[in-house]
Structure 1
């Protein structure tokens, strides 16, 4: 065994820790770039030029004979997904460099952005002007394009739905190089087919998003639960409470967890104020766990901007696998301000340095189970993986009136995102076989697998799970002449499809 291999397998933090200063420089650069670009624009003119450049590349592809399907040229390591995107190697790559916020329309309560803008970058920009997004997904590095094309969820989704439901219009470059603006009124079938299409119906170049007034605090209630019956009862209660604006849960084992509900507010009680984002603060999930060990509920007021970033420092709870001492009080006081390192840079390190076998018992997947089936689903997940903590987040389906027939889901039931992130302690754990069993269970119970992570779906399994949505998707593929221009979505999201 070489020295490098030994260090990677036993002391990966030695490599990962160098990502910290690189990440700080990266973040500072993009923060400055965003502010300067918006102030000194004109961004809209620059956007028009970038759109023309993409059109030119598509038309060049046509002139060269349209030999292979197109995809974006964005490097795989920049994606938040852990998928190995080998399909890019056999496709025609189109450069799309669009990281700008185009326009804020406060009167219409809309913001127009390009697809490579990150959720952290956009929300910091909006907050500085007194606005925010109704749905702010958990990790700052997620891009707007990824959230549109691949889906996004947050603790406010039980009220507003998935990220696509706050999207009001999409600017797309189609298979023939045309520019099309689509919304629920001018082309509802195309508009509803774009979410979860993973760039297989055209290139997204801009999106209009709803904004709402920013309130500086969230009143967050922590409710520890000590049995599976309590978990389901409390989670169902707060999800169906119309006064609650934020709902999530963290399960620390099958029978114990903390269910949180929150209301955004303009005022706070100073003696209950908790600045979660202080560089020396404990990681959020460890803070939540204290309510479980104290065996009592509690109420805190948290600055909203801190709440939005609550999962960042620890990547939920994956940071101990990367930098084991990152939650040490000394490290937090000295270097906590630099957390988290850039996920994309860590992904590059892991892909190029870490042996494949070292990740064989790693699970990173979300399943969308119906709320009424949550108890049985949690038992099944526990049986299959034994991975904890587990994240719970509910979502409703907010299909525009009159477009119910284009619903992305079979039923209007509330679904719960069950996020499973970590290493399984099961001896002889087989990730691929486990994933197949969990996917089969989802199909049999009318539920879904998130497509951002590795899946083992066969084409027939995929068609069975998403049959209700594929009818409209396949119709649009034919109408927009996408079948030769872009791969089928299955060829991008399934490990089997990509191979």
Structure 2
């Protein structure tokens, strides 16, 4: 803890200096899972805050610094037979990112967004003061900073809830033969009290699957029923489930036992299905042997490095969009007709009380503050190659989302005008928080997430580096080079969460 206090004091001094000079700044974490363009400006470096400080087994709580990624967090808590109730599917997403951003995962139908499993946070405010925030202390800051992407202060420590871990997740794959049936089945399964995890995938209009998971110490009857997804020769999870539930296969549910951590990070290899796009880009054979050979490059950390360095994030649609169940089918029909992107991810969500910067619906439960459950739809795939057409497609998607009562995640490309953006969120509440906690010198949430279309146009015409990266396959090769230089492939190789029989 002494090292932590020293680091926080250094960060607070740096923040205070920016505040006294009335200069805005951004936070450098050392990594990112955002797909927005990275702009290097005035920064506060908090990359050293990457430690699990303490696991309290009696209280089932963990003290963690914000840059602790999910895989290191899970490894630390599993040693004590515990696990966070909400774990982001990508191992490299950090605890701080889950608090400051929006992290809704397959257990969020039960526990809410990741930040709803946090008891308290330590924050450095924009004036350099250090405060604690929880439901009983600076409660308005605690709720407002969740999802505000660091625009109310710098998170430096998190007190996180834990639950008892079991050895396996008993996974059931429920085949669906229409979009409507899949949506209905997801909603139905959220009411099954035995389920710890619920999500779904749509591979086509007539092929979907709902995946449910129940933590268990039950031992499967046959070793062949234990399935892993972290090894280079293992199948990619989405392909495995797709093949087991394809049209013409059995319509009955199928069951497998997946070691807990293997289940939590089942989408890491291929980044759901985004990794397949790399094969399309390079026009490289896509089969089990090539996936094995290139496995180091096909985990999410490496995919993100390559995506940013290559410049392909400027034409790749990566959007998470939450909608009321009543309009989810209409939105999926829209994406199928306009974008032709498959598969799609379905994840049921229990929204946070309003006001909030998380996605939410205006339909409230009987308590008058908690919105009704929503369905997150993950839309990830190549968009139009022409930059202007790409922007137009994203703008049209945002327009249709608003029509259907939906909201989007802030990690992705955002093209709303300022007026459009604040028609969705409570600006009066947010601005009052910024004033109360001396955060008006920081970039606002809108300033931080919006894509500056004009700046991007100028960069495309004036930057030789950008022009070269736009030439196939130079951008992709540059992305691979930068990913290799990062050596982040070693993180997965050395991970201890991987199952050993």
What's the TM-score bracket when you normalise by the shorter of the two chains?
Answer: 0.7 to 0.9
User: 474, 479, 487: which is aligned to 2:431?
Assistant: 474
The reply to whether residue 45 of structure 1 matches residue 2 of structure 2 is yes
Question: Does structure 1 conserve the Cα–Cα contact (< 8 Å) formed by 2:36 and 2:313?
Answer: no
What are the superposed Cα offsets for residues 415-446 of structure 1, whole Å, 9 maximum, x if unpaired? 11100111258999932112112212222222
Is 1:379 matched up with 2:336? no
Q: Distance in 2 between matches of 1:219 and 1:104?
A: 27
Shift of 1:276: 3.1
Correspondence for 1:283 = 236
What is the CA distance between 1:330 and its match in structure 2? 3.0
Match of 1:70 in 2: 25
String of CA shifts for 1:124-151, please: whole Å, max 9, x gaps. 1111221101001110111111111111
Instruction: Note if 1:391 corresponds to 2:345.
Output: yes
CA drift of 1:350 comes to 4.5
Separation in structure 2 between the aligned mates of residue 321 and residue 82 of structure 1, nearest angstrom: 15
The 5 A counterparts of 1:204-215 are: 204-215=155-166
Worse-matched range after superposition: 418-427 or 275-284? 418-427
How big is the shift at 1:407? 8.7
1:363 offset after TM fit, Å?
1.3
1:125 paired to 2:62: no
- Cα distance per residue 1:195-250 (max 9 Å; x no partner): 11111111110111110010111111111111223222212211222332211111
Closer/same/farther in 2, CA of residues 263 and 489 from structure 1, 3 Å limit:
same
Q: Does 1:322 align with 2:274?
A: no
1:40 corresponds to? none
Determine if the alignment matches structure 1 residue 452 to structure 2 residue 408. no
How far residue 62 of structure 1 moved from its aligned partner, in angstroms, is: 4.0
The residue that corresponds to 1:262 in the other structure is 213
Q: Is 1:107 matched with 2:51?
A: no
- How far apart in 1 are the matches of 2:80 and 2:447? 41
Which residue is 2:185 aligned to? Answer: 234
> Is contact 1:225-1:258 (8 Å) kept?
yes
Do the aligned partners of 2:166 and 2:260 also contact (CA within 8 Å) in 1? Answer: yes
| Contact in 1 for aligned 2:201/2:344 (Cα 8 Å) | yes
Q: CA RMSD in A?
A: 2.5
**Alignment check: 8 A CA contact 1:98 1:115 kept:** yes
C-alpha spacing 1:109/1:231, structure 2 compared with 1 (3 Å): same
Change beyond 3 A, Cα 1:192–1:377: same
Contact 2:122 2:158 in 1 (8 A): yes
SS in 2 for 1:387: coil
1-side partners of 2:292 and 2:331: how far apart? Answer: 40
- Residue number in structure 2 paired with 1:94: 44
The change in CA–CA distance for 1:128 and 1:459 in structure 2 (over 3 A counts) is: same
Q: CA contact under 8 A between 2:275 and 2:303: conserved in structure 1?
A: no
Aligned length: 437
Match of 1:415 in 2: 374
- Give the secondary structure class of the aligned counterpart of 2:328: helix
Instruction: Provide the rounded CA distance (Å) in 2 between the counterparts of 1:108 and 1:326.
Output: 51
Query: For residues 115 and 359 of structure 1, what CA distance do their matches in structure 2 show?
Result: 25
- In 2, Cα distance between the equivalents of 1:378 and 1:438? 11
CA drift at 1:384: 2.2
2:181 partner SS: helix
> Greater share of helix residues, 1 or 2?
1
Partner-residue secondary structure (3-state), 2:443: coil
Tell me if structure 2 keeps the 8 A contact 1:394–1:417.
yes
Q: Does 1:493 align with 2:452?
A: no
Q: TM-score, with normalisation over the residues of structure 1?
A: 0.82
Q: CA deviation at 1:341?
A: 4.3
Gaps of 5+ in 1: 1-43
Is 2:434 aligned against 1:434? no
Does the 8 Å CA contact 1:320/1:326 hold for their aligned counterparts? no
Secondary structure of 2:423 counterpart: helix
- Between the aligned partners of 2:214 and 2:298, the Cα distance in structure 1 is 27
TM-score by length of 2: 0.81
Q: Equivalences for 1:22-61 in 2 at 5 Å?
A: 44-61=1-18
State the 1:309 CA deviation.
1.6
Q: Of 241, 257, 266, which residue of structure 2 is paired with 1:310? A: 266
Measured after TM superposition, the shift of residue 305 of structure 1 is: 1.3
CA apart distance, 1:478? 0.7
SS in 2 for 1:274: coil
**1-structure distance, mates of 2:89, 2:294:** 22
Matched, 1:81 2:37: no
Preserved contact between residue 57 and residue 80 of structure 2 (Cα < 8 Å): no
Q: CA deviation at 1:326?
A: 8.8
Deviation, 1:70, is 1.9
Decide whether aligned partners of structure 1 residues 340 and 228 sit closer, same or farther in structure 2, where only a CA change above 3 A counts.
Answer: closer
